[in-house]
Chain A
Amino acid sequence: MQLIDSRDIMASPEVVWAALLNPEVLKDCVPGCESMTGSAEDGFEAVVAQKVGPVSARFTGLVKLSDLDIGKGLTISGEGKGGPAGYAKGGAKVTLEPIEGGTRLSYEVEANVGGKIAQLGSRIIDSFAKKMADTFFERFQTAVEGPAEAEEGTDETQKKGWFKRLIS
C-alpha cells in the first residue's frame, strides 16, 4: 500500500530535521515501540509490539536512514520480523520545506507485510498502515511543537514540545 500526506509543523526545518534523527523521538513516536537504539549513521535497532486484527506480534528489526539531504529530506526504511506472525517492511520518503512559521513535512509511505499478517489481516492492513503513519506523524508533531490543545497564556517553555524544550 502507499499513502501520501503532509503536515505543517510549527518549528524550523533544522529542529524538525534534528528530531527525525533522534532515536528517543522515534521511539516515542513509533506506535508500540518498546525500544530503539543506535544512531542515524548506523541505523536503529527497534522492537515494536503491535496487534493487526487477529495477529499480535513483537517485531524486531533494523531502521535505516538514507538519502540524507540535510535539513531537506531523507528516506526512512525498516524491516521487522515478527516470528510466526510474519514480517512487515516499509519506508517513508520524507521531505521538509520551510513555510511561514515552521516546516511542511511531506511523506510518502509504502508498507508491505508478509506471512500470517498478510494471510489473516489483509482486509485491514491498509487502514492499519494508515493509522500507524498518522499516529507516528501526529506524535512527531506533538513531540516537536508541543500539544496542539495547549492553552493560551501558558508560558513559552510549556508550550514547546519536549524535544523543542530539550534543544532550546
Chain B
Amino acid sequence: MPKDHGIGASVKRREDIRFLTGQGRYTADINLHKQGYAYFARSEMAHATINKIDTTAASAMPGVLAIMTGADFAAMGGNPAGWYINSRDGATMKEPKRPVLAHGKVRHVGDAYAIVVAETLEQAKDAAAAIDADFTELPAIVDMAKAVANPAHRVHDEIDNNVCFDWGWIEDNRAAVDAAFAAAPHVTTLELVNNRLVPNAMEPRASIGDYDAGTGDYKLYTTSQNPHLSRLLIAAFVMGIPENKLTVIAPDVGGGFGSKIYHYGEEAAVLAASKALRRPVKWVAERSESFLSDAHGRDHVTTIQLALDKDGTFLALRTETMANVGAYLSNFATVTPTFLHGTLMAGPYKTPLVYVNVKAVFTNTAPVDAYRGAGRPEATYSIERVIDKAADELGLDKVEIRRKNFITTDMFPYTTPVGLVYDTGNYQATLEKMIELGDLAGFEKRAAASKAKGKLRGLGLSTWIEACGIAPSHLVGVLGARVGLFDAATVRVNATGSISVMTGAHSHGQGHETVFAQIVAERLGIAESAVEIVHGDTSKIPFGMGSYGSRSLAVAGSAMVKAVDKIIAKGKKIAAHMLEAAEGDIEFADGKFSVAGTDKAKTFGEIAFSAYVPHNYPLETLEPGLEETSFYDPANFTYPAGAYACEVEVDPATGQVEVASFTCADDFGNVMNPMIVEGQVHGGVGQGIGQALLENTIYDENGQLLSASYMDYAMPRAEDVPFYTVDHSCVTECTHNPLGVKGCGEAGAIGSPPAVVNAVIDALQRGGYKHVTHIDMPVSPSRVWAAINA
C-alpha cells in the first residue's frame, strides 16, 4: 500500500482548501485603512521623446491625491540586471538605467510615465486620462535584425546597434568547433524562432505601499516569487533605504511562471507615493497592463547547426542566436539567454564540441526575461529539432540517433563542453520507459487508424535535460551573478511541540505548505498537522532567494533538512540532560529520544516543552529554546532529465493539429509527493503545448502590441491538451543534496515544445509532404496549411 503521509506520499494539498473555497488572501484582497488607489499612465507609443508632462489640470480633478512622474524619481537608482555578461571581445554588457518611471523617453507601449493616486480607482483613471502629455514619436525598433543593422535608430541613445552583449560560449572552443564542421561528413542547418510568450499568471501583479511616518518603516505587499530579492533591490539599488526599514510581504500569489521573480518600478512607485501622502497606496494591474508590462518570455531567433558522421554520431554543434531583451534589462534578462541557455546546449548527448553565440538586442518592446524553463526550453527546442532534421536527412531512426549519442551511465560525473558537470543520470532508462508507456511499437497501427479518418499521424520525441536547483553560488559568481543563490530556513519548535518553518522559498501555487510539512514531519517523526510553513514575509524569514529555476525543494528544502538536523542534535543534548545520559548515547527515531539499549525515552513533545521550561538546565552547556537556522548553498546544479513522446493528428485539409497523446518519463531524483509532481508535469506540458501550437506575442512594425488580450492571444484550453501519461519511476538520486532531489517545476515546459513540433513535421513527412522540414511555433493551422501547400 502506498504511504499516506510523509516523504513519497501523495498528500493532498493543504493550501487548496483555502484556494478552492475563496479564502486565499492575495495582495488585491488586502485593504488598508485610508488607502489611496493608484493608476499608472502608460505610453501608447513604442518609442517617443517626452516633451512635456503637465499634471496641473489632472491634479485638480476630483479625489486626486498625488501625481508623480518620471522627474520625481530621476534621482533614484536604476533597477539593475542580476548578472554581468561579457561580450566575446571582453567588453562588459551595456546596462542602461531602468528608472522607476520613464523619464526623457518612453521605450515601449506600456512604459509607465506617471502614477496617479486618488480616493477611488475611477478618479485615478480619469485623472490619468487628463494628464497633458506631449510626446514626439520616434521610429520604433521592433525587429531584432533591423535593430542590429540600423545604427541610426537606438532604443538607448548611448548604445550602438542596440546590442547589449555579443556572447560566445565557450569562446576558446570556437576554432575547434569550426574545424570540426569544416571536416564533417554531414551538416544539418536549421533556422528557427522561439516565439515570444506572455506569462499570463492567473493573478495580475499588484502592490500596496504602506509608509509609517512615525517609525519611518516601509511595508510593501506585493505579488512576488522572491520577496527578499525585491527588498534588496528596492532598498539597496533603487530607493536607497536601509533594508531594516523595509518589509516586503508576498501573501498568496496566484502563479508567476517567472514573471513575478523580478522587481518592477510599480513597487517603488507605490512606496514613494505612500511616503509622500502618508497614506497607503494600492495598485492592482488590469489584464491589459499584464500583457503590456509583465516581463515576457523566450523571443529567440536561432540558427543551429549539427555536424554528424553518416551513421548519426554527433561531432559538433554550434548556434547563433539573437535574443530580444526588450526595452530595458529585467533582473534575469542577461542570464536567461546565456548561462541558462548556452550551458545546456550539450543536452543529454556526448557531443564533443559545442559553441554558442548569443547577441542580446534591445527593442522597443516590453522587457523579456525568464519564463518557465528560462533559456533551457530554448536550448532544448533547438537541439531536439535539429536532431530530428538530421535524422530525416540521413534516413536514421529518431530513437536510435538519440540512443546512440546519449551520455551513458558509466560516464558520470560527466563534464560537458559547455561548462557543466552532470553528477548523475540515466537517459537510456527514461527513453526505454517512454517507449514502453507510449507504446511506440503500436504507432504504425494508430497511424493507419488516423489515415482511415483522413488524418496524418505523427510521432515526435524529445529527450531533454535541464540544469536547475538554482544555484551553486561559487559557480554562478564565476559566471557573473551579482548575488549568491543559496537559501535559508528557520525551524522553530514552539513550547507545545508545534513547529513553524520559515523558508526563503515562495510558493505561488506549487504546494510548498504541503510538501515541506511532509518532509519536516517525517524527519522529526511527528504529525504533519503540527508543522506550519511560513513564507513570503521578509520580517519573519531569515533570508531567501525565492522560487524559480526548480530550486525550492532542491535548495530551500535542503536548508530545511539541515535546520531539522540541527534541531535533532539540540534535542539530543536536551534529552541527555533530562535522561541523565551521555549525549552520544541518545538515539532519535520515530519522534522519540531514547538512551541506546534501554527503554528510557522522551517524546519530541517532552523535549520541546523542556526547552522552553528549563528549570534545571546547566546553563553553561545547554541553552534554553529550540530553534535553528540553516543556510544551504548547493554544490552543483541538479540535472533532471526525461524522454517525451507526443503523437499528433494533422488534418491536411485544414492544417489543424490535434495532440492525440503525450507521454512523459522523467527522472526527477527522489519524489516527495507524486501527486504534486504529476501536477507540475501536467502544467508544464500544457504550457509547452500552448507555446508549440497556440501562443504568440505580436508587435506590429510600429511597436504596437496586437496580441494584447485573450481575444488575440491564444492560451491552451482543456480541449487543446490530451490526457497525459506521466511517469517518474526512473530515479537517479542527486548526489549532492540531502534529499537526493532534482526539481520538476520547469520540466514539462522544457521538454514538450520540440516533441509537439517534431510530431507535426513527422506527420507531414510521413504524409508525403517531404518539402516541409520545419514550421515555426506556434504551429497554427494557417502555418501548417501554408507549409503543406507551399
Using CB atoms and an 8 Å cutoff, list the residues of chain A in contact with chain B.
54, 83-84, 86-87, 112-116, 118-120, 122-123
Contacts and interface: CB of A to CB of B under 8 A. Distances in A.
B708 A120 contact: yes
A146 B741 CA distance: 82
Given A84-B125, A122-B700, A122-B712, A116 B288 contact: yes
B709 interface: yes
A114 B129 contact: no
Nearest to B130: A83
A112 B706 contact: no
Contact of B704 (A54, A84, A118): A118
Contact of A115 (B44, B291, B698): B44
A116 B320 CA distance: 36
Interface string B102-113: 000000010000
Nearest to A116: B288
A123 B709 CA distance: 11
Contacts of B292: 119
Contacts of B705: 118-119
A86 B709 contact: no
A130 B109 CA distance: 25
A114 B44 contact: yes
A51 to B, nearest CB: 16
8 contacts: A114-B109, A114-B702, A115-B44, A116-B44, A116-B288, A119-B109, A120-B288, A120-B711
Contacts of A116: 44, 288
A84 B291 CA distance: 16
A113 B708 CA distance: 14
A119 B700 contact: no
A128 B749 CA distance: 38
Interface in B556-593: none
A123 B700 CA distance: 12
Interface of B: 44-45, 109, 125, 128-129, 288, 291-292, 698, 700, 702, 704-709, 711-712
A123 B704 CA distance: 13
A123 B702 CA distance: 16
Contacts of A113: 704
Given A83-B129, A114-B45, A119 B702 contact: no
Nearest to A112: B702
A123 B44 contact: no
A116 B700 CA distance: 14
Contacts of A83: 129
B705 to A, nearest CB: 6
B45 A122 contact: no
Contacts of A120: 288, 708-709, 711
Given A84-B129, A122-B706, A115 B711 contact: no
A104 to B, nearest CB: 31
B115 to A, nearest CB: 16
A118 B708 CA distance: 8
A97 B668 CA distance: 75
Interface centre among A112, A114, A120 (most CB of B within 10 A): A114
A64 to B, nearest CB: 16
A119 B706 CA distance: 5
Given A116-B44, A119-B708, 16 more contacts: A86-B44, A112-B702, A114-B44, A114-B702, A115-B704, A116-B288, A118-B706, A119-B109, A119-B288, A119-B291, A119-B292, A119-B706, A119-B709, A120-B709, A122-B700, A123-B711
Given A114-B702, A116-B288, A119-B288, A87 B708 contact: no
B711 A118 contact: no
A155 to B, nearest CB: 51
**9 smallest beta-carbon distances between A and B, as pairs:** A119-B708, A115-B44, A122-B706, A118-B704, A114-B44, A83-B129, A84-B129, A86-B44, A114-B704
Contacts of B712: 122-123
Nearest to A83: B129
A119 B129 contact: no
A122 B700 CA distance: 10
Contacts of A87: 44
B129 to A, nearest CB: 5
Contacts of A119: 109, 288, 291-292, 704-706, 708-709
Nearest to A120: B709
B700 A118 contact: yes
A120 B710 CA distance: 9
Nearest to A123: B712
A2 to B, nearest CB: 12
Nearest to A118: B704
Nearest to B703: A114
A113 B44 CA distance: 9
B49 to A, nearest CB: 15
Contacts of A122: 698, 700, 704, 706-708, 712
Nearest to A114: B44
A86 B128 CA distance: 13
Contacts of A112: 702, 704
A117 to B, nearest CB: 9
A164 to B, nearest CB: 39
Nearest to A86: B44
Nearest to A53: B711
A32 B359 CA distance: 48
Contacts of B45: 114
A107 to B, nearest CB: 22
B702 to A, nearest CB: 6
A55 B277 CA distance: 34
A115 B698 CA distance: 14
B364 to A, nearest CB: 12
B693 to A, nearest CB: 19
B389 to A, nearest CB: 34
A91 B401 CA distance: 58
A145 B214 CA distance: 76
A29 B434 CA distance: 67
A91 to B, nearest CB: 14
Contacts of B291: 119
A151 to B, nearest CB: 46
Nearest to B707: A122
A129 to B, nearest CB: 13
Contacts of B44: 86-87, 114-116
